[in-house]
Chains A and B, each alone.
Chain A
Amino acid sequence: MAAPDVFDQRDEDGIAIVLTDVPADESLAGVREAVTLCPAAALRLVTV
């Protein structure tokens, strides 16, 4: 899965879990890809 330091998956149902809601800069590319690819369109990345 994209950005393994930011996301994990629940074992029972495979639902993605967000481990940190302020990802480090070096994870940004992976997080962007995850946002674009999320099958449930449930992710959003906001720059603050």
Chain B
Amino acid sequence: MTHIVIVGAAAAGLAATEELRRSGFDGAITLVGEELHAPYDRPPLSKQALDASWDAARLHLRNEADLAALNTVFMSGRRAVAADAAHRTLTLDGGEELAYDGLVIATGVTPARLDGIDLPTLRTLEDAVRLRARLQPGARVVIVGAGFLGTELAAAAAMRGCRVTLLDHGDSLLARLGAPVSRHVASLHAGHGVDVRSGVRVAHVDAAGAELADGTYLAADAVVACIGSTPTTWWLEGSGVPLDDGVLCGADCSAAPGIVAAGDVARWFNPAYGRLMRVEHRTNATQQGAHAARTLLAELDGGRGEAYFSVPYAWSHQFDTRIQVHGVALAGAGTEIVAGSEAEGSFIVAHHAQDRLVGIIGINARPRDLRPWQAQVHAEAALLTATLG
């Protein structure tokens, strides 16, 4: 019987599993996940899940009946430690070998660490539960890193009454989204009592706090690192699977014969932007997981997969502000406010690259106002795809 193994049991791995069954695949499926939980959703971990009254069971992406219907062997609490693309086998911790006909790589990313400093971070349910216990009213919380994760965590901690310091290595929060968004988010946080410090580096952390490179010492009850992440590909070194800041895939998400990748770990040629991209957002995990599964089935059937055309979507919720990003905010792209204003606290920012609209960001934007811009981002992406042939 044909055997498909999926490594990584979060959003992308689950989407791949479901798509295989939905497409009529009746062979064996094994889903290997290093966490002990059934597949769960990560975005709430830096938001609602940090509130003590929130029920962690709500994180589960599927109930037991739905999972059972997938007729899949779940190997939870297990990790793949090696793979051999030529022989179509992989090795699990404990030395067990699994033979596969098709492999879906969906191992996501691993939080980055500050050099030589072991800090708590936020990626898993356990991380969130540990952190939640420390976010008591009045607790001094230092957050290192001011991307989506750091700013969301700062907002969640401030709303629980913690005294929050947000340390930013660069000179603006959510820098990639452009200056107007950075200014809005900075003043939003400052207005809620968050002490935002830009252009600082952490030199040392101990049980009592953090010391900055300029000698300032910040006493803290909790210090958390939110400084980005790296694709979880260590187990694929020497496997024959091409690696370059993630699993390197063609436009159809295939990486090697019988192997596809999806989600945070996959770097594929996205025809919508004419370049290699790796997208660490929740929506992409599900869409790409399903796409990769279809590509794999096409290949096992002797055919080829279709290109994965994707206009990424990301959202964030901080205090009373909703941030929505359609498309991409490319480094160096020109930004301009096209609707609303910073003064109103509600606006839309367009990102252009080489005279082309590549991304649109809504700050507390009304869906009705955002929709036409969103459509235009999609139209421009489709146009480029057509040009590329």
Q: Residues on A close to B: CB < 8 A?
A: 1, 9-14, 33, 36-37, 39, 41
Contact = CB atoms under 8 A, between A and B. Distances in A.
Nearest to A4: B371
A37 B367 contact: no
Given A14-B366, A14-B367, A36-B15, 10 more contacts: A1-B367, A10-B367, A11-B366, A14-B322, A14-B324, A33-B287, A36-B286, A37-B283, A39-B43, A41-B61
A39 B18 CA distance: 18
A41 B41 CA distance: 8
Interface string B350-375: 00000000000000001110000000
B123 interface: no
Q: Mostly helix, strand, loop or mixed at chain B's interface?
A: helix
Given A11-B368, A14-B322, A37 B58 contact: no
Contacts, number: 28
Cβ-closest 6 pairs across A and B:
A9-B367, A11-B366, A36-B286, A14-B367, A37-B286, A37-B283
B315 interface: yes
A28 to B, nearest CB: 11
A37 B281 CA distance: 11
B282 interface: yes
A9 B15 CA distance: 25
A42 to B, nearest CB: 10
How extensive is the interface on chain B, given as a class?
10 to 19
Interface of B: 15, 18, 41, 43, 58-59, 61, 282-283, 286-287, 315, 322, 324, 366-368
Contacts of B315: 39
A1 B315 CA distance: 13
10 contacts: A9-B367, A10-B367, A33-B287, A36-B18, A37-B283, A37-B287, A39-B43, A41-B41, A41-B58, A41-B59
Task: Please indicate which of the listed interface residues A13, A33, A36, A37 has the most CB atoms of chain B within 10 Å of its own CB.
Answer: A36
Contacts of A9: 367
A39 B315 CA distance: 9
A15 to B, nearest CB: 10
A12 B365 CA distance: 9
Nearest to B61: A41
A39 B324 CA distance: 12
B344 to A, nearest CB: 14
Nearest to B366: A11
A14 B363 CA distance: 11
A37 B76 CA distance: 23
Contacts of A12: 366
Nearest to B289: A36
Contacts of A33: 286-287
A24 to B, nearest CB: 19
A37 B18 CA distance: 13
A13 B367 CA distance: 9
B144 to A, nearest CB: 26
A13 B346 CA distance: 12
B223 to A, nearest CB: 29
Nearest to B41: A41
Contacts of B61: 41
B367 A39 contact: no
A41 B368 CA distance: 23
A19 to B, nearest CB: 14
Contacts of B368: 11
A14 to B, nearest CB: 5
B201 to A, nearest CB: 33
Contacts of B283: 37
Contacts of B43: 39
A36 B283 CA distance: 9
